Amino acid sequence: MVIKLQQELMITSDKTIDGRGARVYITEGAGLTLQFVNNVIIHNIYVKHIIPGNGGLIRDSEGHIGLRTKSDGDGISLFGATNVWIDHVSMMRCTDGMIDAIEGSTAVTISNSHFTDHQEVMLFGAKDEHVIDKKMQITVAFNHFGKRLEQRMPRCRFGTIHVVNNDYTHWEMYAIGGNMNPTIISQGNRFIAPPNEQAKEVTKREYTPYTDWKSWDWQSEGDYFLNGAYFVESGRSHAWSPKPKNPVPNKFAIRPKPGTMVRELTMDAGALGCEPGKAC
């Protein structure tokens, strides 16, 4: 099932896109857009070679067609969207970001997915002036960040980002970055640094002097570092002992496994080869 979208697919609330039982490719056209919607699941599809849509009159519900400008070429774009789960998705080569969550998007989980061949993978918060993103809470878990990725896995403004049990086997600039004082909790990830001696650091605080970012709460707990990779912590967790309580509420938090187990935990990352009538 190969789908070439002429324009963005506008997904409404309370919807599930489930590709189990087929090989579903969204490719060579526009991507998926979640704008001011909630309760959406996107599961088990391939999103590849996404290009901008031209804009124009686009249906965004059963009873409404609206005029939209040219799309950016994101694979999956969240704009003011809440309660979203993106799971077992395989993505490569989008014109802009693979997954962007902006303008107050929150309660988002991106899990068990596989990413390759891209420059700017995930953007959480688009502009410094968008203080609405202070409420943003996103979990990035059990994903494989694979070959030929450059940066933004993710890149964050504001909000609280929980990065847990992911496998980072490639990056060219940095893996996790941001500005505007996001809280980033990295737990049980595996980071394999590239051969480039200038890119061993996992973290990057963009456009921010040390005097400002030294107070940001960026924690690394149980991460596994290989080939010279290192995570620069900051905030109270870095300056004082013991570390502060994890801000992710216990009832929502994933209990991380050690980073040494990540390869096993992410073996099935990406779209699954499911067959009708068999458990998947």
Catalytic positions, written as ranges: 152
- What is the distance between the alpha carbons of residues 69 and 81, in angstroms, rounded to a whole number? 19
Backbone angles phi, psi at 7, to 5 degrees: -140, 170
Nearest CA to 141 among 272, 45, 273, 269?
269
- What is the distance between the alpha carbons of residues 199 and 32, in angstroms, rounded to a whole number? 32
Q: How far apart are the first and last CA of the chain?
A: 19
Q: What is the dihedral of CA 141, 145, 151, 152, to 10 degrees?
A: -20
Separation in Å, CA 231 to CA 129, 188, 191:
27, 12, 9
The Cβ of residue 15 has, within 10 Å, a number of other Cβ atoms equal to: 13
- What is the distance between the alpha carbons of residues 179 and 204, in angstroms, rounded to a whole number? 9
Tell me the H-state helices in 8-124: none
Strand arrangement of the beta sheet that strand 15-18 belongs to = 15-18, 38-43, 82-87, 106-111, 137-141, 160-164, 183-187, 218-221
